[in-house]
Amino acid sequence: MTLVSQMISSTLHRNLIFVHGKGGVGKTSVSQAIALGLAAEGKRTLWVAIEDPTRPPGELIAQGPHLWHLNCNFQLAFEEYAALKIGMPRLTQIFVQNKLMQYLAKAAPGVHEIVLLGKIWYERNHYDHVIVDMPSTGYGLAMFQSTENISNLFGAGPLHRDAVAMLNTLGSPQDTGHVIVSLPEEMPLRESLELNEFLVRNFKQNPAAFLVNRVFPKVSENLELSPDQLERVSPLAKSVEDYAQMRSWLESFNLRIWKEAEIQFGTLRQVPPEPQNSKSPLVQILCQQLQSEGYL
């Protein structure tokens, strides 16, 4: 096992794992594949989406002997949090149904984010692993930033104590892992570096692991081209092999962005389109790649 594989494996075997990245890089599939692999080890595993409109809100769904899925929903999480803090069912019901409380919960800056993150943080106590499919970069960072803002805004009280405890967990390399996923394309690679800067500033002792998704297979031991050489390559491929070679050159060139930033990263290969009636859907193939590379 390589040093990079060991680093990624260490991150993916922590209790709470956040999978970050720009929209469209495959976070959902990668996070689900990680959850599937951990569940295959016999670990109680929860895969979490955050307010996914395509899935039932707040419902805990069993997806295998050791795997569950939760689509985290603000309103349900808010009611659950209120019940935990108030401790009296009748009083809790009056509180959460009060129109002013409902308005403040939705409108107050940071409350929406800290409630969702708090639900995830609370659920980690019931599972060996909780894998979170984070929203696209901007909103995902807002969730962490809001938690810090709440901890600073309230100098005391249960909300302050919970926010501080959450930040301690998020920054702990023993408890929490941050995984940044990108495509081998310039924009997501550069945006990933900005995301990493935020994580480093906020969780200095807990560096993220990096994965490049959908890497095109090399057709040969091709040499990396300089920018000048790449510009002279014709954009029109003459054959399938020619296209594959050009694609591989371009991806290698783009990945210099991470290499120059001294980022150590693992790769997941491009998964070809599934044939009809395939018994190996994308998530299972990605899970097998994670296992074969030693990441799981």
Tens of pLDDT, residues 111-120? 778 888 888 9
Q: Is residue 127 part of a domain?
A: yes
CATH number at residue 92: 3.40.50.300
Model confidence at 202, in pLDDT bands (50, 70, 90)? confident
Alpha-carbon distance 44 to 296, whole Å? 15
The residue range of the domain holding 73 is 3-223+263-292
Is residue 14 in some structural domain?
Answer: yes
Which of 72-76, 180-184, 223-227 shows the lowest per-residue confidence on average (mean pLDDT)? 223-227
Q: Crossing angle of helices 74-86/89-97, nearest 10°?
A: 140
CB atoms inside a 10 Å sphere around CB 10: 13
Query: Alpha-carbon distance 287 to 91, whole Å?
Result: 46
Q: Is position 169 within any domain?
A: yes
pLDDT tier for residue 101 given thresholds of 50, 70 and 90: low
Listed in sequence order, the residues at least 6 apart from 104 whose beta carbon sits closer than 8 Å to its beta carbon are 111
Mean pLDDT, range 199-228, rounded to an integer: 80
- The per-residue pLDDT for 131 is 98
- In the predicted structure, residue 102 carries a pLDDT above the cut 70: no
Residue 217 lies in a domain: yes
Residue 104, CB-side half-sphere exposure with 13 Å CA sphere: 7
Q: Angle at Cα 283 formed by Cα 138 and Cα 14, nearest 5°?
A: 65
- The answer to whether the CB of 260 falls within 8 A of the CB of 4 is no
**What integer best gives the mean pLDDT of the chain?**
82
Contacts of 220 (CB under 8 A, 6+ apart): 245
* Domain-embedded: residue 77: yes
Q: Is residue 243's pLDDT more than 80?
A: no
Provide Rg for the chain, Cα atoms: 21
Domain assignment present for 237: no
Q: What's the domain count of the chain?
A: 1
Residue 235 lies in a domain: no
* Consecutive H or E run containing 284: helix 282-292
Predicted confidence band of residue 224 (pLDDT cuts 50, 70, 90): low
Query: What one-character DSSP code corresponds to residue 1?
Result: -
Query: Pick the residue with more confidence: 132 or 272?
Result: 132
Q: What distance in Å separates the CA atoms of residue 31 and residue 20, rounded to the nearest whole number? A: 9
Return the structure tokens found at 122: 């609370």
Going by their DSSP bridges, the two strands 67-72 and 60-62 should be labelled as antiparallel
Decide if 244 is inside a domain.
no
Fill in the amino acid letter for 130. V
* Range name among 57-66, 90-99, 136-145, 203-212 with the lowest pLDDT average: 90-99
